Amino acid sequence: MGEWGKDTKAILKEYARDKLKSVFVQTDDTNELEKQEVAVEAFAVKLFDDVKRDIIGLENRRIVVESEKIIKERQKSRQVSKVKLLLIEGIILGFVVGLIVNQFTEFIGFLKGQSNSTNVSATLWVIFGLLIFAIIFVFVLYLNKVEEYFYKKEVSKNGSQI
């Protein structure tokens, strides 16, 4: 076991010797003394194993609790990031849709003869460009969500939740 547990083993051996002292018979027989020392050593090893098992159990519980805290913090951080991204995406998409609606309004006004604008082709090109941008923007967002969905499925098959 190396250096780890050396002091603990020594302390437990002294404890075992003190506990078994009342059971041992005082003798000068070396054979009986060796048997007593073997009994002390066996009792000390059992105590050490019990202490080690208790410490491992406590540490396992502590590690599980700490891991759960870290996982919850990461999940909360990811949720905040997703909300921020969703907000930014909504603002961009809302702005582009607003521009498209404004350009359509101008085009409809021209068709009704209410607009003095003589450059209808520029308005149509702006509408077309903004529509293409909006479609690409939404399509890219959709692809990212689909990719994220399948990535999460793959991760969950591996058993990892982080």
State yes or no: pLDDT of 1 exceeds 50.
Answer: no
Task: Give the pLDDT confidence score for residue 98 in this predicted structure.
Answer: 93
The residue among 74 and 3 whose pLDDT is bigger is 74
Cα–Cα–Cα angle for 115, 120, 125, nearest 5°? 135
State yes or no: pLDDT of 162 exceeds 50.
Answer: no
Task: Give the pLDDT confidence score for residue 158 in this predicted structure.
Answer: 55
Task: Give the pLDDT confidence score for residue 129 in this predicted structure.
Answer: 92
φ, ψ for residue 26 (rounded to 5)?
Answer: -70, 125
Task: Give the pLDDT confidence score for residue 54 in this predicted structure.
Answer: 92
What tens digit of pLDDT does each residue of 45-77 get?
999 999 999 999 999 999 999 999 999 999 999
Q: How confident is the model at residue 156 (pLDDT cuts 50, 70, 90)?
A: low
CA 150 – CA 134 distance, rounded (Å):
24
CA 4 – CA 114 distance, rounded (Å):
90
What tens digit of pLDDT does each residue of 27-50 get?
777 788 888 888 889 989 999 999
Q: Please enumerate in sequence order all residues whose Cβ is within 8 A of that of 15, keeping only pairs 6 or more positions apart, or say none.
A: 44, 47
In the numeric block, which tokens belong to residue 78?
């990811």
State yes or no: pLDDT of 157 exceeds 90.
Answer: no
Q: Are 127 and 100 in contact (CB under 8 A)?
A: yes
> What's the rounded mean pLDDT across residues 122-141?
89
φ, ψ for residue 24 (rounded to 5)?
Answer: -75, 150
Q: How confident is the model at residue 154 (pLDDT cuts 50, 70, 90)?
A: low
The domain segmentation of the chain, as residue ranges, is: 6-158
> What's the rounded mean pLDDT across residues 87-104?
90
In the numeric block, which tokens belong to residue 91?
């603002």
